[in-house]
Amino acid sequence: MENINASESERFGKRAAEKIAGAAEATGQKLDAAVDYVESAKQNAKQTLDQVRQEGWKGMKGRVLEYTRHEPFNALVVAVGAGVFFGWLATRPRE
């Protein structure tokens, strides 16, 4: 009877180790994907800032106006979102 319990314990331990290893691998993959996403966002932000420096504010204003003409609904959604965000910043209590 002790052999059966030891055998069952060993199988349970192996299954638990497999589950833990699988969870660790999945977590590692998701962490890698998150790091890649952050790196990509950082590169995009850097490129945008470089464009602003090169074009100046007048160039960016022209690009914004062009975008607004071609994508009026998206521009409106962005403007509303920015208004809500800045409104929230202005009305939140100072600590």
pLDDT tens for residues 6-39? 788 888 888 988 889 888 888 989 999 999 999 9
pLDDT at residue 1 is higher than 70: no
How does the average pLDDT of the chain come out, rounded? 87
Q: What region does 94 belong to: left with phi over 0, alpha with psi -120 to 50, or beta?
A: beta
Domain count for the chain: 1
Residue 33: domain span: 2-91
Q: pLDDT band at 59, cuts 50/70/90?
A: confident
- Region 69-81: mean pLDDT is 94
- Region 61-76: mean pLDDT is 92
Q: Identify the pLDDT of residue 68.
A: 93
User: Which residues are CB-neighbours of 55 under 8 A, at least 6 positions away?
Assistant: 63
